Amino acid sequence: MSLAQKYSQEIQAIFAKYPPEQKRSAIMSLLYLAQREEGYISQEAMKEIADMLEISVTEVAGVAGFYTLFHRQKEGKYRIQVCTDLPCALRGADSFLQELAQALGVRPGETTPDGRFTLEEVMCVGACHRAPVFQVQHGDTITFHENMSLEEALAVLKKLE
Amino acid sequence: MSKMVTLTIDGIKVTVPEGTLLVDAARQAGIHIPVFCYHPKLEPAGMCRMCLVEIGRPMIDRNTGQPILDENGQPKLQFLGKLETACTNTVSEGMVVFTQSEKARQGQKATVEFLLTSHPLDCPICDKGGECPLQDLTMAYGPAQSRFEYEDKIHLAKHVPLGDLIYLDRERCILCSRCIRFQAELVGEAVLTFDERGRSSQIVTVSDPPFDSVFSGNTTDICPVGALTTADFRFGARPWELKAAASICSQCAVGCNIVYNTRREARSDGRIVIKRVLPRQNEEVNDLWICDKGRFGYHYTESRARLTAPRAEGRPVSWEQALQKAAEGLRSASQKALIASGRLSNEDLYTLKRLADHLQMPAYLYTPIGGGEWVRRYGLSTGSDLSALGKGDAILVVASDLYEEAPLWYLRVRQAAERGAALIIAHPRTTRLERQAPHQYVLRYAYGDEGEIIERLRREAKIAQTLHEARNLVIFFGNEGMGLEQSESLAAACADLLVETGHAGRIHNGLIGVWPHPNAQGAWELGFQPIFDLQPLFETMDALYLVALDPFGDGWVRQNGRKPFLIVQDILETATVRQADVVLAACAYTEREGTFTSGERRVQRYYPAVPRYGDSRPDFAITAALGAKLGLNLEAQSAARLFQEIAGAFPAFKGLDYARLAETRPQWPPTGRADYPFSGTAQPNTQGMGKILSAVAEGTMTPLPPTMQKESLRPEEGTLLLVPIHRLFDAGSLLTPSALLHGRIGAPHIILHPKTAQEAGVTAGEKVLIEWEDRQAEALVKVEEHVPVGVGLVPRSMGIPLSRAARARLHLAERVR
Ligand code: SF4
Ligand code: SF4
Ligand code: FES
Ligand code: FES
């Protein structure tokens, strides 16, 4: 089912926020909506958004491509995003990532066979002094987990259904 | 008149209108501030930081509002602590700018050094090498050595097709966004964008079809590096080996100014051949742009199907024999006629007309659109300029899809509308102009109701008011859904509207016919007559002299037993040539000189670019030689002298000659070798911007009442109405020799509304058999929402010989078998 059919009210509410001749401004909200729906933004969703906003699908892809938290590939249900930028690296983020990868049985960038987790390496998430740190992106929520050891991390993941 | 502002740049006092960008102000004073991302035709983006300069602004006393003076009585200047971009800052009174100070040079040098850190520097195999802004500005501003490790360079994909015609080299791209902005701002088709960000940014398209804008080639001219190249020219030649010949595009009635770049080369058997086409600046016609048909469609001039020698009865003969035969054929025929097309030059047409008059035979123009008589009388006149249209003016586009029929007019109309001109579109379906230009009014009418268009415009109070109040009014008319007679009536009705609203006979006002040929207007001006139906001619005449047309190939006539003596003069082997008794081999327009009159009535010169093929000759020379055999003395050598005769014989051409047509006027932005970084590789205009014909001295006459002599067909319940439409890329004999356009041309197809398709029981992609009158053809089905229900759009010259609207039946091709 298309987004417009499934979420017609929500979409109406989004459009109501912008003057009609500026409706392209609704692009971020619509991208969030699409990502919440499928965990990523599919080609079809981009096409649909482009038609709704009367802009080209390439323009939609440009915006989706600019933001690192928009994804255009279907991956695991939960995206575990470990920061390995310089300050975190100094607090052992690299080995933390390796251990976590081993425990999950995947390499960074890969998804577990059961489709639950995708392990990702990301740039600074703004918690440098509390590394090792990772965030879990799921639907339209992001949760932070700081000062993590491997055991604590696995416990966090276990609690996710 | 905007306020003027005086500032000082590198010690030079410059006075420019308020709001001018610093980079433009400097350029006007002859100071080149280096740029990569700035382009004078695009909105500034401040992407590349190459234009960094030091800017000082007078300090203002907050209490008095007056400048604070130093001890010498000079205004004190305030400099920001950092360099600023000259392409995003506008001028202000008393500003003092240093573009070459130690600090500015340092900033510019650092920018180049940064750009080069991830640039492959493969100049030796780069098509841009020799005319590359990055090369030039590196030489002028860059450091001689890089502090960056060569091995650390990021390597990216080098041959990424963005569409059929344009390739991207990701390593070379400096992320200036000129290509993105060109497509989004100027064309209105945002099919390019940046993906990712920072060091990972890349140019991409995810549109489907990908980069298929008809303006795509222009991005290769303004790309400041060799990142964008054309499939046609890439790895074809080095710029410095190329010679340039000024010319005029021959693919539509706009008359874009172009340059043919040529070279002699071994791989073309030592011949001098065309390597590429570049736009030639003419701010009154095509600015710095051309469409892809003009850029890539020239290959017909070097096609294997070129006629290289005259023929009689299917065998090659000498010119003497061929002309003798042709002359005999004409002399002994009691019923004869001449038919010529708007592909010929004014000089050719004039010569042909003289011959026709001498033999007392009619001279017909081969055209699907009528009404040139009206354009002759109510067209644009001397001094008119579409780029002068803006707020307060109105443009009416009737029954024409400008994007497909005359791309540069689409661009200019779109720009005028963006400047505030009222755009009124009357069309039976949604066209690209309607989707992508700001327009005030759309009049949707049904096929068959063309006779009422103008009347309905009059009746719509708002539209009528806009038309009446417009300072200037320009009307474009085409022939969608109409036969020749109907389009003639439409032209008359449009002329009538110009008179009624008080716009006739004024500069920047008038009627423009969207002809499919570059010089159809010239033929109208020189007295050629339209012919509604060719078939009877082929059935009743004893002899026909056909010049530059292929009525058999286009489906306008059919072989029906009796056949007149056919003299066919053309440059290519065509279906019509194969029917000929005598074939006269003409040379292509790229091999001689001449003039075309564009739809705007602008007469423009073109010059020889390459030598003649085989034993072919210019059309006017062939006709003159034929005339000589029939007792008529015509100029056979000099196109310039012929033009003088035209100027003497036709009042609209009075006072024009080849020297005046070669005049140029100062233009902005500057173009040429030193300005590649500024405006791209569009070529400067040194050989003539042409002149618009003067108004015909019948300004006071009112048009005949526009009566639709014959109504065109309209859709009816339960039947399918076939309507021929113009598409830019068709399978005509002039375009098929350009192999790289085949992807854009595609297969023969019919476009239906989803409902129509459903009723006919066909779906997109299926092959159907179309039957109309006593003809049939196969086509692929395309389904598009914008087509009116009950109508099947059939592109002309696409292998379906449909020349006018007709009722038809559809069958699935398989079911038929
Ligand atoms: S491809 Fe060329 S024009 Fe486009 S952003 Fe890159 S350098 Fe600029
Ligand atoms: S717009 Fe017309 S004249 Fe201009 S380049 Fe295209 S085909 Fe040629
Ligand atoms: S560097 Fe890891 S959170 Fe900032
Ligand atoms: S930032 Fe000014 S030219 Fe690029």
At B734-743, the pLDDT tens digits run 888 899 999 9
A108 vs chain B: nearest CA distance in angstroms?
Answer: 19
User: Within an 8 Å CB–CB cutoff, is residue A73 touching chain B?
Assistant: no
The answer to whether A56 contacts chain B (CB < 8 Å) is yes
Q: Which residues pair with B424 in a beta bridge?
A: B396, B441
Of A25, A42, A66, the one marking the end of a domain is: A66
ipTM value of the model? 0.88
Of A34, A71, A74, A68, residue with least CA distance to A51: A34
- B724: preceding bond cis by omega (within 30 degrees): no
Residue B709's pLDDT is: 56
Q: What are phi and psi of B193, to 5 degrees?
A: -155, 170
Residues A109 and A48 in one domain: no
The 3 state secondary structure assigned to B50-110 is: CCEEEEEEECECCCCCCECECCCCCECEEECCCCEECCCCECCCCCEEECCCHHHHHHHHH
Please answer yes or no on whether A61 and B204 come within 8 Å at the CB atom.
Answer: yes
pLDDT at position B356 over 90: yes
Residue at A73 is within a domain: no
Does A108 share its domain with A59? no
Q: What average pLDDT does the segment A89-108 reach? A: 96
Asked whether the predicted pLDDT for residue A143 surpasses 70, the reply is yes
* CATH top class, domain B151-302: alpha beta
Exposed/middle/buried for residue B220 (C-beta within 10 Å: 0-12, 13-18, 19+):
buried
Most A-contacting residue of B192, B193, B197 (CB-CB within 10 A), to test interface:
B193
Three-state SS at B598? coil
Task: Note the pLDDT of residue B698.
Answer: 52
Task: Measure A121 CA to nearest chain B CA, in Å.
Answer: 16
A149 touches chain B (CB under 8 A): no
CB contact under 8 A, B208 and A57: yes
DSSP B702-746: PPPP---SSPPP---TTSEEEEEE--SS---TTTTT-GGGHHHH-
Do residues A58 and A101 both lie within one domain?
Answer: no
Q: Are B86 and B99 in contact (CB under 8 A)?
A: yes
The number of beta carbons lying within 10 Å of the beta carbon of residue B273 is 19
Ligand nearest to the CA of B195: 1
Domain identity same for A61 and A19: yes
Amino acid A29 reads S
pLDDT score for B704: 54
Q: Is residue A72 part of a domain?
A: no
Residue B579 burial (CB count, 10 A): 17
B191 touches chain A (CB under 8 A): yes
DSSP B657-711: -HHHHT-----SS--SGGGHHHH-SPBP--S---EEPPPPS-TTPPPPP---SSP
Is the pLDDT assigned to residue B376 strictly greater than 80? yes
CA distances from B413 to B220, B250, B284, B387 (A): 23, 21, 13, 9
Q: Residue B387's pLDDT is what?
A: 95
B582: number of Cβ within 10 Å = 27
Supply the mean pLDDT for chain B: 94
Q: How far is the CA of A151 from the centre of ligand 2 (A)?
A: 69
B505 and B699 in contact (C-beta within 8 Å)?
yes
CB of B513 closer than 8 Å to CB of B477: yes
**pLDDT for the residue numbered B190:** 94
Tell me the CATH class for B4-100.
alpha beta
> What phi, psi does B122 have (nearest 5°)?
-100, 40
Tens-place pLDDT, residues B615-639: 999 999 999 999 999 999 999 999 9
Name the helix (H) or strand (E) containing A57: helix A57-66
The answer to the question of residue A60 being in a domain is yes
CATH number of A40's domain: 1.10.10.1590
The pLDDT of B739-768, averaged and rounded, is: 93
**Which numbered ligand comes closest to the C-alpha of B515?**
2
Q: How confident is the model at residue B553 (pLDDT cuts 50, 70, 90)?
A: confident
A27, A56, A121, best to mutate vs chain B, most B CBs in 10 Å: A56
A60 plus A133 within the same structural domain: no
Residues in chain B within 8 Å Cβ distance of A65: 193-197, 204
Query: Ligand 1: residues whose CB is within 6 Å?
Result: B 173-179, 203, 223-225, 227-228
pLDDT digits (tens, 9 = 90+) for B263-308: 999 999 999 999 999 999 999 999 999 999 999 999 999 999 999 9
> Separation of A56 CA from ligand 4 center, angstroms?
26
Atom nearest to B52 CA in ligand 4: 2
Contacts of B148 (CB under 8 A, 6+ apart): B113, B116, B117
- Say if A88 falls within a structural domain: yes
- Report the amino acid identity of residue B638: S
Distance CA B78, CA B99 (A): 16
CB B129 within 8 A of CB B135: yes
Architecture of domain B372-514: 3-Layer(aba) Sandwich (3.40)
Decide if B197 touches A, using CB distance below 8 A.
Answer: yes
CB-based contact B206 A57, cutoff 8 Å:
yes
User: How big is the CA angle at B283 (ends B277 and B285), to the nearest 5 degrees?
Assistant: 65
Q: Could you report the per-residue pLDDT of B93-133, keeping only the tens digit for each? A: 999 999 999 999 999 999 999 999 989 989 999 999 999 99
* Most confident segment among B397-401, B502-506, B744-748: B397-401
- The answer to whether the CB atoms of B189 and A56 lie below 8 A apart is yes
User: Within 13 Å, how many C-alpha atoms sit on residue B271's CB side?
Assistant: 13
pLDDT for the residue numbered B176: 97
pLDDT at residue B558 in the model: 84
Whether B325 contacts B708, CB under 8 Å: no
Say if A93 falls within a structural domain. yes
> Are A43 and B206 in contact (CB < 8 Å)?
yes
Gap between the Cα atoms of B34 and B133, Å rounded: 9
Whether cis (ω within 30° of 0) applies to the bond prior to B209 is yes
pLDDT of residue B813 exceeding 80: no
CA distance A57 to chain B (A): 6
How many CA atoms are closer than 13 Å to the CA of B147, on its beta-carbon side?
6
* Domain extent at residue A13: 3-66
Probe target for ligand 4 pocket from B35, B90, B181, with the most ligand atoms within 8 Å of CB: B35
User: For the segment A38-54, what is each residue's pLDDT rounded down to a tens digit?
Assistant: 899 999 999 999 999 99
Give domain status of residue A142, yes or no.
yes
CATH number, residue A130: 3.40.30.10
- Which among A81, A124, A130, A148 is the best mutation to test ligand 3's pocket, defined by most ligand atoms within 8 Å of the CB? A124
In this predicted structure, the answer to whether residue B562 has a pLDDT above a threshold of 90 is no
pLDDT in tens, B402-440: 999 999 999 999 999 999 999 999 999 999 999 988 888
Q: Which residue, among B607, B620, B763, B757, has the nearest Cα to B690 in the 3D structure? A: B607
Which position has the token pair 């082997």? B573
Do A102 and A60 share a structural domain?
A: no
Q: Is residue A7 part of a domain?
A: yes
Query: Could you say which of 2.40.37.10, 2.40.40.20, 3.40.30.10, 3.40.50.300 is the CATH number of the domain covering B720-816?
Result: 2.40.40.20
Q: Averaged over A87-102, what is the pLDDT? A: 96
The pLDDT confidence band at residue B50, using thresholds 50, 70 and 90, is very high
- On whether any CB of chain A is under 8 Å from the CB of B194, the answer is yes
Token pair 């309607």 in the structure block, residue: B434
Of A43, A59, A68, the CB nearest to B193: A59
The length of chain A is 161
Ligand 3 pocket: which of A68, A81, A85 to mutate (most atoms within 8 A of CB): A85
Q: What is the pLDDT of residues B478-534, one digit of tens each?
A: 999 998 889 999 999 999 999 999 999 899 999 999 999 999 999 999 999 998 789
Residue B732 in this model has a pLDDT that exceeds 70: yes
Instruction: Give the mean model confidence (pLDDT) for residues A51-63.
Output: 95
Question: What is the rounded distance in angstroms from the CA atom of residue A123 to the CA atom of residue A135?
Answer: 11
Q: Which of B190, B196, B197 sits opposite A58 (nearest CB)?
A: B190
- Whether A56 and B191 lie within 8 Å, measured CB to CB: yes
Cβ <8 Å between A61 and B191: no
Looking at chain A, which residue has its C-alpha nearest residue B210? A58
The confidence score (pLDDT) of residue B697 equals 53
Per-residue model confidence as pLDDT tens digits over B595-611: 999 999 999 999 999 99
Q: Is A42 inside any structural domain?
A: yes
Look at chain A and report how many structural domains it folds into.
2
For position B591, what pLDDT does the model report?
98
Last residue of a domain, one of A66, A86, A115: A66
At residue B708, the pLDDT reads 56
| Contact (Cβ atoms closer than 8 angstroms) between residue B324 and residue B629 | yes
For B222-232, how does the pLDDT look when each residue is reduced to its tens digit (9 = 90+)? 999 999 999 99
Alpha-carbon distance of B623 to B158, in angstroms, equals 52
- Rounded to whole angstroms, the Cα distance separating B116 from B522 reads 52
CATH architecture observed for domain B311-367+524-665+685-692: 3-Layer(aba) Sandwich (3.40)
pLDDT value for B291: 98
Q: Indicate the residue among A34, A66, A98 that finishes a domain.
A: A66
Nearby residues of B591 by Cβ (< 8 Å), 6 or more positions away: B301, B608, B609, B610, B611, B612, B613, B616, B618
Same domain, A94 and A47: no
At residue B535, the 3 state secondary structure works out as helix
Of the two residues B51 and B713, the one the predictor is more confident about is B51
- By alpha-carbon position, which residue is closest to atom 6 of ligand 2? B291
Q: Quote the tokens at residue B274.
A: 């065309």
Instruction: Write the pLDDT tens digit of every residue in B663-688.
Output: 999 999 999 999 999 999 999 999 99
Examine the domain organization and report whether A62 and A85 are in the same domain.
no
- Closest CA relative to residue A124, chosen from A148, A160, A90, A159: A90
Confidence of residue B689 (pLDDT cuts 50, 70, 90): very high
Q: Provide the residue ranges of all domains of chain B, joining segments of one domain with +.
A: 4-100, 151-302, 311-367+524-665+685-692, 372-514, 720-816
Whether residue A134 is found in the same domain as residue A104: yes
Average pLDDT value for residue range B739-754: 92
pLDDT score of B696 = 75
Same domain membership, residue A84 and residue A60: no
Q: Please, which pLDDT band fits residue B802 given cuts at 50, 70 and 90?
A: confident
Q: Which two tokens stand for residue B89?
A: 């800052």
Ligand 1 atom at minimal distance to the Cα of residue B36: 8
Mutate to test the pocket of ligand 3, among A90, A128, A129 (most ligand atoms within 8 A of CB): A128
* Ligand closest in space to the Cα of B170: 1
Residue A62: its chain B contacts at CB < 8 A?
193-195, 204
Assign 3-class secondary structure to B455-508. Answer: HHHHHCHHHHHHHHHCCCEEEEECCCCCCHHHHHHHHHHHHHHHHHCCCCCCCC
What number does the ligand 3 atom closest to the CA of A84 have? Answer: 2
